[in-house]
A and B are shown apart, each in its own frame.
Chain A
Amino acid sequence: MSPRELLGRVGRYTLLSLVLAFFALPLLWLATAPFDRTPEIAASWPEFTLDNVRELLDNENALRSLRNSVLLAGGTCALVVTLSALAAYALSRVRLPGRDGLLYALLLLSSIVTGTAAMVPLFNLAYELDLIDSRLGVILVLTGGLLPSAIFILKDFTDATPVSYEESARVFGASPLQIVRHLVVPLIRPGLATIGVWSVAQVWGNFLIPFLLLRSPEKSPAAVVMYTFYTEGGQPDLALISTFSLLYSLPVVLMFLFVSSRYGFRFHGGIKR
């Protein structure tokens, strides 16, 4: 190995170590504190215990917020996946006038509007529709915001499936709905999984919309409840916060691992346009 190559290699590993340290550092606390008998704000080697977990499982408030998160995420995910799959398929196979322009405009709008810019009218709209403090309201608002990107990503998947499958089934006499059920859904399953995971993750972590639209604490999801844990009432309960953080993070991490091992979390061609 020439000195130059050696230098390159050393440089490379140094850089990678720095990257590792930078990304690992904030996560350390999440790994240690939940199992520490006396958790502190600094990450330290824990005196191992599962008491914190046990305590959390007795905390009705915390568990209820997780259930709320599941409801919101599940509902939004189901709506987003179903509606975006139908729309993406139709848009991919039938030439509707102005399709591409419309799709781009919506994509742009969704990445701008979702969340903060439209919070005032979103609040008003929910109020007018009697959807304040309603989980359905949160689900609908979130779905509307996620759909354009979901359609865009899924259309990539449907565009990538050869039309000869569908034509072949059509020559055998399959109806459009049969084609969707028998062929399109199984063929774009990785895409559906990607959209599903992505939408669950988006909702799971979304703080603003439920914070804006839900009034009663019994309906608040974990994102909002977690925020109240560490901002209200003087001394934060570190044992509760850390254990709750872990429990709250676990589902998205597991889901992500499952999907990426099973289907590969991939970017399709359209992303590069």
Chain B
Amino acid sequence: MPADAAGLGRARAAAFVAPALLLIAGFLVFPALWTIYLGMTDYRLTGLAAAEPAFTGLDNVRRALDEDQFTHSLGLTLQFVVGSAVLGQALLGFAIAWLLRERHGALRRLVEALVLLAWILPGSVVAFLWIALLDREDGTLNALLGTPGTAWLVEHPMAAIIVFNIWRGTAFSMMLYAAALSSVPPSQLETARLAGASSWQQLRDVVLPRIRGHVLTNLLLISLWTFNDFTPFLLTNGGPGDETEIMPVFVYKTALFNGELGYGAALSVLMLLVNLVIALVYVRLLRAREAAS
């Protein structure tokens, strides 16, 4: 592409980019860096350490790695990500996109509309809808299953928020896979069909190799989003006890309930590092794909 079609010039281009970059630097990059610094102090919300936080180096990190609470929370988060995003949303999203791939009727529109609705409704609303659905006394689910008195959010809290998040986030995967499937040239599928391939063989030999990039991108994005999702807090408050205290909730409680801002920041940094590792793994896989093709 010839550079600079509109004749912007470097200076004007920089002026176009500057306001956005300034806001990003101020309200995204700077807080991230600040988090790293805070993580190395004993900064607190109240008390002596609130006025004059002392530099404590890697003490917070050491404390986190020693405490069961951190590993417990990280474990829950990984369960949550693998269960609801990697397995739940991605598989269900792909299945829906695949089932609907050659349809254009009312059924497709209805399914898509409902799945999308779950995605676009505000978090506070869907949280309450699920609280109502899973209510111990007269929740719709208990009425349907004939299991009155089952407190799903207390008895199976992790399963509840995993299913909730599958319901909530499948739309993105569905739309992305629908776009990916439509990018597979029909001639390739027809060639496979002429060669006598079954649906499953077409999927395995023609479709999947072609949309591997989409799959990886999708997994990367939904993994990161799910890892940092705060909405389960609205459902369970991290409880009962600490049974659904996934990382974002754990950070929130440490920093703002217990007032341990420094420790909370150190937890955030550890969270960022885990995110980074996840991202790097996917980027590696993507690279390998590009190198292979």
Contact of B122 with A205 in the complex, beta carbons under 8 Å: yes
- Is B217 within 8 A of A114, CB to CB? no
Instruction: Report A147 CB to chain B, min CB distance, Å.
Output: 5
B184 lies within 8 A of chain A by Cβ: no
> Would you call A119 and B252 a contact (CB within 8 A)?
yes
Contact of B34 among A124, A169, A241 (CB under 8 A): A124
CA distance A227 to B4 in the complex (A): 49
A121–B272 Cα gap in the complex (Å)? Answer: 14
Shortest distance in angstroms between B83's beta carbon and chain A's nearest beta carbon? 16
In the complex the two chains form, what is the Cα distance from A114 to B114 in whole Å? 27
Q: How far is the CA of A16 from the CA of B45 in the complex (A)?
A: 51
For the complex, what is the distance from the CA of A87 to the CA of B245, rounded to whole Å? 39
Interface SS, B side: helix
| Contact of A87 with B16 at beta-carbon distance under 8 Å, contacts A30-B129, A116-B248, A245-B128 already known | yes
Stretch at the interface among B17-25, B68-76, B149-157: B17-25
Q: Is the CB of A23 within 8 A of B114?
A: yes
- A38 interfacial contact with B, CB 8 Å: no
Alpha-carbon separation in the docked complex, A26 to B121 (Å) = 12
- Using Cβ atoms and an 8 Å threshold, which residues of chain A touch B140? 25, 28-29, 41-43
CB distance from B267 to the nearest CB of A (A): 9
Residue in B8, B107, B124, B179 whose CB lies within 8 Å of A94:
B8
Q: How far is the CA of A223 from the CA of B252 in the complex (A)?
A: 18
Cβ of B28: which chain A residues have Cβ within 8 Å of it? 106, 109-110, 113-114, 118, 144-145, 147-148
A120 in contact with B8 (CB, 8 Å): no
Q: How far is the CA of A166 from the CA of B115 in the complex (A)?
A: 40
Interface status of A262 (Cβ within 8 A of chain B): no
The minimal Cβ–Cβ distance linking A254 to chain B, given in whole angstroms, is 11
Given known A-B contacts A120-B268, A256-B116, A16 and B32 have beta carbons under 8 A apart: no
Q: List 14 A-B contacts (CB under 8 A).
A: A26-B130, A87-B19, A93-B5, A94-B3, A94-B9, A116-B247, A116-B251, A124-B261, A147-B24, A207-B123, A207-B231, A223-B123, A224-B124, A245-B128
Question: Interface on B for A, CB 8 Å cutoff?
Answer: 1-10, 12-14, 16-17, 19-21, 23-24, 26-32, 34-35, 38, 92, 95-96, 99-100, 107, 110-111, 114-118, 120-133, 135, 137-141, 143-144, 167, 175-176, 179-180, 199, 213-214, 217, 221, 224-225, 228, 230-231, 234, 247-248, 251-252, 255-256, 261, 264-265, 268, 271-272, 275-276, 279, 286
